[in-house]
Chains A and B, each alone.
Chain A
């Protein structure tokens, strides 16, 4: 192994650990059942954006993020215009984006867009991931109690003077940001799992909120760290290794469920 390879591996680990931790922390706020779909769907909404970015030679995260903003805006708009439940709207955005993305993304890059390609992670990408992950962490930390309260009851939150819509919007933006980063690690198909799976495992093991979000972050980081190590030693897809590691944690958490 050359020194350059070693550095590359370090960059991958740094990006993975930061993104994995921040994504899992965000995921721990998906307390209401319908929210779990959102993270998953947004990964797919990113796909057409990634396709465009690849065609134009831009950074895929940038393309993904602009489409995610568009997706969030459309879901929000549909929500006002119709009385359909959010999950139905999210589902529509989800399949439509997948179809458009499939058309737009150039075939050689399709696999990369769907499952990620961590071998392309550079120093710049690792640094960007770390900075944005910390930013997301701080934003989410500041809205955490309000979001928990809104998950318990919108009315209760509103009666406390909390602007529930504003908090939700900030939260969705944070998810869009982490998805835009996460697609580089695990691709658009699996990025939702970075958000959902560690928190689901942590919920099984926790008696209180502090245990819950701490454990979510730890499991998110561990999944990425161990998954990337497995990728390094076995040569299997990193995305698959990361998600299977977190799924393994989830299965174990079922045994020790409190």
Chain B
């Protein structure tokens, strides 16, 4: 298992404000690294910096030739656009065969290709977004906070779905989440972020103290909502 991503001294400043300060961590191949942190902690900014779409200081070192898939948090405008699922894939010039393979892998039937994006259920839409990120056949997925609570099809949660994909495609996954149960069940490593790196550990090493420090008073709320 090699190292797929190495981050050193990473700082991001936006509009004169420091959003991320001096982060350092490594991601190994095959890991599921969850990024925990309160609102405004800079989690999404971190993903965008890793994608290279935000200016940053410090070192972000991807393994050479690595392909990255990005699943954004929300796409508020997409439902206003008259576009079928098939056309959404075609925006990337995806071949029909690849699209079919991906549909199989994300567990959707081919007739969804003709459906309007705006008419999908949130679970279907989430799957399509993941599928779309898989088009380039990436080795690593950056996933910005899946809609928690949405059962993606009956019993299977988005996380079980991701874990299956990970096995099938040998993916490494970086995942922003608010859901502590996800961290305990699925993550191999966990990163706590609030502008600075507050923890970088195995999930079982997360202590109530470190979580309290991360979230302040909010922690109770999180434990209850996903108990």
Contacts and interface: CB of A to CB of B under 8 A. Distances in A.
Interface string A140-167: 0000010011011101101110000000
Contacts of B87: 208-210
A44 interface: no
B84 interface: yes
For the residues of A in contact with B, the DSSP-based class is helix
Contacts of B90: 145
A211 B83 CA distance: 9
11 contacts: A31-B80, A145-B91, A151-B81, A153-B78, A155-B70, A155-B72, A160-B92, A208-B84, A209-B81, A209-B82, A212-B82
A131 interface: no
Given A145-B91, A159-B51, A152 B77 contact: yes
Contacts of A32: 77
Interface residues on A, range: 20 to 34
Contacts of A206: 82
Interface residues on B, range: 20 to 34
Interface in A169-211: 203, 206-211
Interface of B: 15, 48, 51, 53, 68, 70, 72, 75, 77-78, 80-84, 86-87, 90-93, 114, 116
B13 to A, nearest CB: 16
B71 to A, nearest CB: 9
A48 to B, nearest CB: 34
A153 B82 contact: no
A145 B90 CA distance: 8
Q: Of A31, A158, A208, which is in contact with the most chain B CB atoms at under 10 Å from its CB?
A: A208
Nearest to A158: B53
A156 B114 CA distance: 22
